[in-house]
Amino acid sequence: MRARPLPLPGDGGKEERGRVLVVGGGLEMAGAVLLAGTAALRAGAGKLQLATVAGAVVALNVAMPEARVFALPETDGRPSAQAADVLAEQVAGCDALLIGPGMMRDAEGMARALLDLSPRQPMVLDAGALNAVEAAGPRRGALILTPHSGEMARLLDRDKSVVEAEPLAAAREAAERFAGVIVMKGARTHVVGPDGAAGLYAGGGVGLGVSGSGDVLGGVIAGLLARGVPPFEAAAWGVFLHGEAGARLSKSVGTLGFLAREIACEIPAVMAKFL
């Protein structure tokens, strides 16, 4: 990681460090958007926008006063496909886009619509937004996918056991098929680029396997993208920072029992060691 340093903070303020837009959640899982957005700011992004169903907007505004929060049209408590139209102006002005935290599936086609709407913006797809990539058109902007083994199995249409047996091979296939960077999440996380570059992180500890941890990881990666970090490096640094934050919490809190909301708070201290 020292050979691939993060950019030093400049004097340009929040505009220089980029704007992140996080889209996802629903009435039952709006907290995932909060976790991801917090992580993006902890990773050094300058400005944050959140978008989720209208019924959760007031709560998110109170919980995250640092962010601008957009209300999306919803169907059965989930963002609808019309959400893309509502966000068109914000998507055009963001430096990195994260779609998927708190989304169980993209039943209404919102993620697919956002993919088509933003062919140039660097984008991270997670959770229920991952399957939208299969039907999306060609992109110029960077694409990062963050599946666990079950999600990868669905992306590649094969048994989960096959993916778990050869996670690196699965990540390489997905990177080539979808022309993006793949973060193959697990106890040992592989980061693979479409050009064949690959990295492995095996630290962090079992405590990171907790609800909401993946939302934090997606937010860290999006925050680094907004700062101008190249896609493969953003993914690799995101995995590393997330893992090292977990290692710190394992010592200060315990091997198990720390919360996903606590992971992001450790990110600045880990980054500071490398500046």
**Domain residue ranges of the chain, discontinuous segments joined by +:** 16-272
Consecutive H or E run containing 2: none
**Are 270 and 238 spatial neighbours (Cβ–Cβ below 8 Å)?**
no
DSSP annotation of 208 reads: G
**Are 74 and 80 spatial neighbours (Cβ–Cβ below 8 Å)?**
yes
184 exposed, middle or buried (CB, 10 Å; 0-12, 13-18, 19+)?
buried
Per-run averaged pLDDT (10 residues), the chain, 275 residues? 86 82 90 97 96 92 95 78 82 93 80 81 92 75 93 95 97 95 96 95 94 97 96 98 97 96 97 89
Consecutive H or E run containing 1: none
Q: Check: pTM over 0.85? Answer yes or no.
A: yes
**Are 100 and 125 spatial neighbours (Cβ–Cβ below 8 Å)?**
yes
Amino acid 92 reads A
Residue 260: strand, helix, or coil: helix
Q: What is the pLDDT of residue 107?
A: 63
Q: At what angle do helices 231-252 and 213-226 cross, to 10 degrees?
A: 140
CA atoms of 122 and 88, how far apart (whole Å): 15
How crowded is residue 231: how many other Cβ atoms within 10 Å of its Cβ?
21
Amino acid 221 reads I
Q: What is the pLDDT of residue 11?
A: 67
Q: What is the pLDDT of residue 137?
A: 63
CATH architecture classification, 16-272:
3-Layer(aba) Sandwich (3.40)
Tell which residue, 235, 155, 140, has the closest CA to residue 193: 235
Q: What is the pLDDT of residue 108?
A: 66
